[in-house]
Amino acid sequence: MAFLTCWACVLVGCLSASFTRASDLSGLCPPLWKESPGDFSGYTVENGTYIINPWVFSEKMGMYKILLNKTAIYFAKFAPENEQNLLWGLPLQHGWQYSSGRLADPSQRTDCGHKPDDLCVSVDSWWADLNYFLSVIPFLAAVDSGILGISSDQVRLSPPPKDQTRFCYDVSGCHSSFSEMMNKWIDFYQYMKLPSSNFEDLLKYLWAAHTTSLKNIVKSFEDRYDFYSKKESEFARKWAIAVEYIGASRIPTTLIRIHKSQKHLPPRILVNTDTAPLISDFTALQNTVLLGLNTLGRVDKTSGSFSLTAWKIAMKTQTSRKLLLELFDILLEISD
């Protein structure tokens, strides 16, 4: 019990549940959700192939919107209005990255993302690069799984202005370059389509795909840290570590839960003068989140990741995971 309580306090700000129920779920959607395409007809077509530019925020958000729309039928048995769709965590997280300025060019060598209402997503952004593999890969895996209603050769992604070889742009290319990621997401979709699928096992498949996607590419973009303040680069590193713990906990990434929890994430890029828990323009819980991530990062490093191994063992049973969620609920209620 003490072990679970300790780690619940560290992770509470990263993802937490809420007792709140929303009467208007549309108000919980990510930025520009209504304006983004909801089907393939909203994109350019060239020689029978849909062309999507993931370096434009609204076009990438449209990919998520199509994914949520097409998978809604498989989550209808869990709750009305698609609220329990576990894929909500992806666009909501990307929306936080956008609203907090983390998709803009951190090198300041271009004005990408820096103008008012700018939809440009910078290839130099660490957050944008990692998100690429949590948007394009799940999307193309869904295409390949037959969920989105088009064939695998009917969609292609536009490349960024630089570093094109670091990414993939269609189903065959992503299978060739990032086969493990693609296969993990396909496993999720194949299980999702089973009439016998249950929520707990959907979480298992989802987090396996999510953590595999991040783990396999974090090191590929370490050069992007140089564009940020020391505090922001440390936050990025520790965020990636925290995802491993959150994934082991199988936190349900549903609409209400993630919308509520993201209010407690840093609302802007960190600067070197930011010292949690004393950041004046952050809320108390936003400061607590940063403090918790710093603690988690130190423990993980000091223990040589033994703490992650111990956490995974502790989270092996559904009873432990349920207890953790209940602790999240209590801690969040107190914080409100």
Contact by Cβ (8 Å): 282, 13: no
Contact by Cβ (8 Å): 201, 191: yes
What are phi and psi for residue 308, nearest 5 degrees?
A: -70, -40
* 157 beta partners: 52
> What is the CA 218 to chain-centroid distance, rounded?
14
pLDDT at position 24 is: 77
Q: What are the residue ranges spanned by the domains of the chain?
A: 1-28+258-336, 31-227
pLDDT at position 124 is: 98
Looking from the CA of 299 toward its CB, the CA atoms found within 13 Å total 19
Residue pointed to by tokens 């795909």: 209
Cα 119 to Cα 273: distance, rounded to the nearest angstrom: 28
Cα 280 to Cα 128: distance, rounded to the nearest angstrom: 27
Cα 197 to Cα 162: distance, rounded to the nearest angstrom: 41
Contact by Cβ (8 Å): 275, 234: no
Contact by Cβ (8 Å): 85, 72: yes
pLDDT at position 4 is: 44
pLDDT at position 281 is: 97
pLDDT at position 91 is: 98
Contact by Cβ (8 Å): 65, 36: yes
pLDDT at position 17 is: 35
Cα 167 to Cα 133: distance, rounded to the nearest angstrom: 8
pLDDT at position 3 is: 42
pLDDT in tens, the chain (336 residues): 444 444 554 554 454 433 344 457 889 999 999 999 999 999 999 999 999 999 999 999 999 999 999 999 999 999 999 999 999 999 999 999 999 999 999 999 999 999 989 999 999 999 999 999 999 999 999 999 999 999 999 999 999 999 999 999 999 999 999 999 999 999 999 999 999 999 999 999 999 999 999 998 999 999 999 999 999 999 999 999 999 999 999 999 999 889 988 889 999 999 999 999 999 999 999 999 999 999 999 999 999 989 999 999 999 999 999 999 888 767 666 665
Q: Which two tokens stand for residue 325?
A: 């969620």
Give this prediction's pTM.
0.92
